[in-house]
Chain A
């Protein structure tokens, strides 16, 4: 039994079910990220944990106590909102202690709690200001301070970084991670940004269309995506998905794709799982991440199965640290990630190195990974 249990939870508005049978067990000190595109149900789920929306079916328990129908303020949770939701008419200090005041905590205790939070977040010099006088990053800190001061069982974050500019977002991300490591709190964090999900979480639930598509560690999700949606949603640039065929040649399985001129390319598969056998001579979808297609010098030295592949370069996009190359493979645009100084020229043939250890195959009908 977990610290926060979400058991077979569903949510319907009228006859429309927007969240289907969600089942997640969160351990104490875990950092769970709910990630997915807008409308996937992640915010609804968070609001249900908070008690801001009712639960249609199933139950949610915090510390083994079922909280269905319990008022938000009695669940011992705290929430950081996307807009920070700082009370505009109150000072920072009043914002932080408002919840304590509502819970009838005497003033000296409130001040003590506030002082420690202010120290932790380094917002001591902002306490007398109103939210309107703060920068985005400062508001973010105050919003976290308001959550921390309650010393809740579970922290809920609803896209807290999406209103910050790119640089500040990266800084605050690190800040949140540090805070989590230092305090060991249990966090449920909603975002649509897969990089935030990867960097912050101890576990990720990828959601789409009201279903949890996959629940696992960031590494699981990235390397072994359960299906095509998870594979393409996580990672940037997205995983290449190429129509291909699985055949046996010379006693080994090969994946067949076609190069920019329509000629066949065969990529050998090693250590294939037993399940691949059933797909022999059938159409499959080859999933391969950009960083698994490189220039030969840039290939992963620990990889055991790096295959050469010659193809014509389409477009090159130098991005500073790397150079991205787009080429045509099996009639699709396929992105490869080269070292910055790799000698690639548009329109010229180039010898790529494909790390087939990292390749995954999907069933074209069910779109599930063949494992």
Chain B
């Protein structure tokens, strides 16, 4: 508050001027070491021939070069593209639909909303355990349909190399679409009701009302949903481990599982580090402009 350039400041005021910075500095130090220092270290490792332990032998871009020749990494990238686009699009559609429906003065909203949202409180490991079994053809949904007499029913994606990645989409959408719903619902509730009344006076139908008046005003909610979901998608690790373990084979590998297995299981730390750097860059490309815009708007 008091500008530090001002003259003749007494001791107590000077102490009071320094205290805030003093209080904040441990956090800043922790961030600089554990976040930014660690990022720098990992980037450095990605340029060395580290295997089981960090080594400091500089190898230039060799790890990156090799990384993009590894078949599993390319599968992981491909999976990430499929998974994240479907996950984001489907979660957004379901979330938006549920939010719009719930906003129609629904009886029992107080019961439905928590039901839609509770999966967000669960660990991905729990979600994975539940869905793994539900999707298992031998005892889950397929078996139940057979027992109910629909013997031609087939649903064995989780065992199918080409389809297994979609089971991850299903479970992930199950977990986070309620969260997207809550974000859109908050956006819908924030829209000035007088604008809606005015639009109805102008003769807009319900459909037009949503398409022309309401959805354009939800832009910030769309943006936030996109940012949050994409960063969740890139970080996805637990769900894959619990649901498929990356299998069958490595059909459901994602960059996060690739990084872990190369670094800690296969002792290829240099390559693992380079894959982590790629993940960071991808997320930074989305988050940095978003956070920058958010912080600027406020000041």
Measuring CB to CB, which residues of chain A are less than 8 angstroms from any residue of chain B? 51-56, 66, 68-71, 74
Contacts and interface: CB of A to CB of B under 8 A. Distances in A.
B2 to A, nearest CB: 4
A22 B13 CA distance: 24
Contact of B10 (A53, A54, A55, A74): A74
A69 B12 contact: no
The size class of the interface chain B forms with chain A is 10 to 19
Given A54-B2, A68-B6, 20 more contacts: A51-B2, A52-B1, A53-B1, A53-B2, A53-B3, A54-B5, A55-B6, A55-B7, A56-B3, A68-B8, A69-B7, A69-B8, A69-B9, A69-B10, A69-B13, A71-B10, A71-B12, A71-B13, A71-B16, A74-B12
Task: Please provide the 3 A-B residue pairs with the shortest distance between their CB atoms, ordered closest to farther.
Answer: A54-B6, A69-B9, A69-B8
A106 B258 CA distance: 68
A188 B2 CA distance: 21
Contacts, number: 33
A216 B3 CA distance: 32
Nearest to A14: B3
Contacts of A56: 3, 5-6
A54 B16 contact: no
A68 B13 contact: no
Contacts of B5: 54, 56
B8 A54 contact: no
A56 B7 CA distance: 8
Contacts of A74: 10, 12
A249 B5 CA distance: 61
B94 to A, nearest CB: 41
Interface of B: 1-3, 5-10, 12-13, 16
Contact of B13 (A53, A55, A66, A70): A70
A76 to B, nearest CB: 14
Contact of B6 (A66, A69, A71): A69
Interface of A is mostly: loop
A62 to B, nearest CB: 14
A51 B6 CA distance: 11
A94 to B, nearest CB: 23
B1 to A, nearest CB: 6
A70 B6 CA distance: 11
A53 B13 CA distance: 12
A225 to B, nearest CB: 35
B3 to A, nearest CB: 4
Q: Which of B2, B5, B9, B12 has the most CB of A within 10 A?
A: B2
Q: Which of A53, A54, A55, A66 has the most CB of B within 10 A?
A: A54
Contacts of B12: 71, 74
A265 to B, nearest CB: 50
A268 to B, nearest CB: 56
B248 to A, nearest CB: 59
B10 A70 contact: yes
Contacts of A69: 6-10, 13
Q: Which of B8, B12, B16 has the most CB of A within 10 A?
A: B8
Nearest to A68: B8
Contacts of B16: 71
Q: Which of A52, A68, A71, A74 has the most CB of B within 10 A?
A: A71
Contacts of B7: 55, 68-69
Contacts of B10: 69-71, 74
A56 B6 CA distance: 6
Contacts of A54: 2-3, 5-6
Contacts of A55: 6-7
B5 to A, nearest CB: 7
A74 B8 CA distance: 14
B260 to A, nearest CB: 48
Nearest to B13: A71
Nearest to A57: B7
A116 to B, nearest CB: 29
A55 B6 CA distance: 6
A70 B5 CA distance: 14
A194 B12 CA distance: 38
7 contacts: A56-B3, A69-B6, A69-B7, A69-B10, A69-B13, A71-B10, A74-B12
Nearest to A66: B8
A57 to B, nearest CB: 9
